[in-house]
Amino acid sequence: MKHPIVVIESLKKNYGTVEALKDISFTIEAGEIFGLLGPNGSGKTTTIRCLCTLAKPDGGKIEVKGISALDNPKRVRNRLGYVAQEVALDKMLTGRELLQLQAALYHLPKPTAQARIEQLLTLLDLQEYSERKTGTYSGGIRKRLDLAAGLLHQPDVLVLDEPTVGLDIESRFIVWDFLKQLKAAGTTVLITSHYLEEIDALADNVTIIDQGKVIAQGTPSQLKDRLGGDRVTLRIQEFSPLSEAEKAQEVLKELPFVEEIIINPSQGNALNLIVKSGSNPLSKIEQALEKVNLPLFSLAQSRPSLDDVYLAATGQTLMDAELAAAGSRDMKKEKKQQMK
């Protein structure tokens, strides 16, 4: 019987009165790229910090290859490679020196370390940078060196927290290609991200979390197919009054091909509809609104995306959640400054 390489069940974690993780459960199969998707503040980083034994959960179970991370943290750490969101490199060391230091921390025999360093420098196309100090590296090169450091001891599972945040498009694609190579070679990869296209392009399976809870799980295709149709986004005005959007909602929900309507306040009370595939809805929607003298600022149809999955589960898009979280952090900072 096949067993998952990572098992997380009913994970809980509190920071004082804040419930960072309320109930997180998922499994990861060996050799897959697994995506943990959610906005900043959703609990992604706390989840992987607990997995990597950097934080102690308040409840739940974590196992890696059948080993409890709570009872045997050292054994679990030897099976994991962890690359944090923030790259922390000693700017005075060269790339090669940093990898040699990392190898020493893992107690790798010198011949093994030298061979492994050369292999990773080649795989990540870092040879020309290896003798330069890391303080001279661009963001993309620093991230690739960080990946090399996380892979030195050949972990069973590579854990990446927002691996391409802040990188330019070219550097992101280089990282994507490398992760696909790792998967092909049999390495299991866990990625946290708030980039929808990244998870959609890379992940075999996805768990979406919000406010410390799992809200959706499955393959990207399964999650999108469960919505059961196409997405239509319309605006009565660029910034519509809520009453106007609600009036349009009442009219449109009577159309036989409309399965769900969500009013999105953070997008100027735009209406997001799920409609049956192949129903050719746009002209019918326009006609229905004309009959009740409602204007139409914009109207578009598309196939479901992971953002639609998030929207259907929470009533807001992932970008909306990001903006709301950023606004909340700004308010907290302002309050602290006022108290000083």
Give SS3 for 21.
strand
Domain identity same for 85 and 207:
yes
CATH of the domain at 243: 3.30.70.100
Q: 31 is written with which tokens?
A: 């050799």
Give the residue from 174, 194, 223 where a domain finishes: 223
Domain identity same for 146 and 271:
no
Give the residue from 208, 223, 238 where a domain finishes: 223
Confidence at residue 302, expressed as pLDDT on a 0 to 100 scale: 86
Contacts made by residues 279-283, CB under 8 angstroms, sequence distance 24+: 279/229, 279/230, 281/230, 281/232, 281/255, 281/257, 282/232
Q: 74-112 burial, b if ≥16 CB within 10 A, otherwise e?
A: eebbebbbbbbeebebeeeebbbebbbebbeebebeeee
Question: Is 0.85 surpassed by the pTM of this model?
Answer: no
Give SS3 for 119.
helix
- 6-15 and 59-64 beta bridge pairing: antiparallel
**Is residue 119 in some structural domain?**
yes
Domain that holds residue 154: 6-223
- 205-210 and 33-37 beta bridge pairing: parallel
DSSP state of 273: E
Instruction: Compute the distance between CA of residue 195 and CA of residue 34 in angstroms, rounded to an integer.
Output: 14
Confidence at residue 184, expressed as pLDDT on a 0 to 100 scale: 92
Contact of 78 with 153, CB cutoff 8 Å: yes
C-alpha angle with apex 264: 260 to 266, nearest 5 degrees? 165
Distances in Å between the Cα of 295 and the Cα atoms of 12, 232, 302 are 48, 16, 21
- SS3 sequence, 184-200? HCCCEEEEEECCHHHHH
Q: Each residue's pLDDT tens digit in the chain (340 positions)?
A: 568 999 999 999 999 999 999 999 999 999 999 999 988 888 999 999 999 999 999 999 999 999 999 999 999 999 999 998 877 778 899 999 999 999 998 899 999 999 999 999 998 889 999 999 999 998 889 988 999 999 999 999 999 998 888 888 888 888 899 899 999 999 999 999 878 888 988 999 999 999 999 999 999 988 888 877 788 999 999 999 999 999 999 999 999 999 889 998 888 899 999 898 777 899 999 999 999 999 899 999 988 888 888 877 887 777 777 676 666 555 555 555 555 5
**Is residue 340 in some structural domain?**
no
Domain identity same for 163 and 103:
yes
Residue 217: closest CA among 38, 31, 52: 38
Q: Which amino acid makes up residue 202?
A: L
**Is residue 288 in some structural domain?**
yes
Give SS3 for 239.
coil
Domains of the chain: total: 2
Instruction: Compute the distance between CA of residue 37 and CA of residue 305 in angstroms, rounded to an integer.
Output: 13
Instruction: Compute the distance between CA of residue 134 and CA of residue 119 in angstroms, rounded to an integer.
Output: 19
